[in-house]
Amino acid sequence: MNPPNSTSIVLIFGPFDPTGSDGLPADAITCAALGGHALTTLTAVTIQDSAETEAVLPCPAEQIDDQARCLLEDIPVLAIKVGQLSSVEAASAVAQIAADYSQVPLVLHLGQQEIDTEEVSEDEDEVEDLIGAVIELLVPQAHVVVVDGKRLAQWVTEELLEASGQTTGPQALQAIGAGWVLVIGHQQRPGHLVNTLVGPQNETITWPWIAPPERLRDTGGLIATALATLLAQGLEVPEAARQACTHAERAVAQSFQPGMGNRIARRLALGA
């Protein structure tokens, strides 16, 4: 547990989303809203509006490595959150950093992977290679993996987790090496969604989850950042996950639509 009045510092890897709906700008707000402070390492710059992403410009792996190590050698970090990565090389660089700082709990958000550049359209094989690299290199080092239920089910169907030897999503990720797995929006029965946390001893905790409004971006990044901030404050995983889901639900309930595209969760939720 941190000393009284200390600030919980979290290192966040992710892209710069100019709309503020996701990525580093949004994560920094989430971290601050929960009493933490975000250090950031840029993994890509996106060119987008609230409706769609036109291009993703990945940062060189060397730049990601240099920036993260510069921060880690200067400031004591109490948790690490890894968001979207846009190249296999970036996944490898982040994985090496995580290995060198294995004493720091790592929260991995397995969200949508985008590798577009201005010149080359996204290729399915390249995306699959990137997902495979993140699963192989980062899942084994993750204290907690946060993943959307539909995305996890799709990866099981597409046999992207085949190497685990497991047929159910959370157990497959744990067989690869994840400590805890938080599945967002798992359909327990028709019309009833839950967030499900599965622990190292197969302990399972669920919380009701209200489906987000239509045209709202993936809420997994919001939950993962909140969870990392709460872990940095010394909470155990089950309580940190519960509070993170509660914070996210409040932020989603107060979402707004600033443009013609997607809604944005109010990360600095009123009444938080």
Is 271 part of any domain? Answer: no
Nearest to 100 by CA among 64, 148, 144, 68: 68
Task: Give dist(CA 146, CA 241) in Å, integer.
Answer: 10
Domain that holds residue 226: 8-253
Tell me: pLDDT of 207 over 90: yes
Is 16 part of any domain? Answer: yes
Q: What is the mean pLDDT of the chain?
A: 89
Task: Give dist(CA 218, CA 146) in Å, integer.
Answer: 11
Task: Give dist(CA 215, CA 202) in Å, integer.
Answer: 34
Instruction: For 89-106, write each residue's pLDDT tens digit.
Output: 999 999 999 999 999 999
Is 264 part of any domain? Answer: no
Tell me: pLDDT of 56 over 50: yes
Instruction: For 232-252, write each residue's pLDDT tens digit.
Output: 999 999 999 999 999 999 999
Is 182 part of any domain? Answer: yes
Query: What are the percentages of helix, strand and coil residues in the chain, rounded to 5?
Result: 40, 25, 35
**Count of the separate structural domains present in the chain:** 1
- Domain CATH number, residue 88: 3.40.1190.20
Is 265 part of any domain? Answer: no
Amino acid 182: pLDDT: 97
Is 261 part of any domain? Answer: no
Name the percent of the chain lying above pLDDT 70.
Answer: 91
pTM of the model as a whole: 0.92
Contact 199, 238 (CB under 8 A): yes
Is 262 part of any domain? Answer: no
Contact 141, 102 (CB under 8 A): yes
**69 vs 2 pLDDT, higher one:** 69
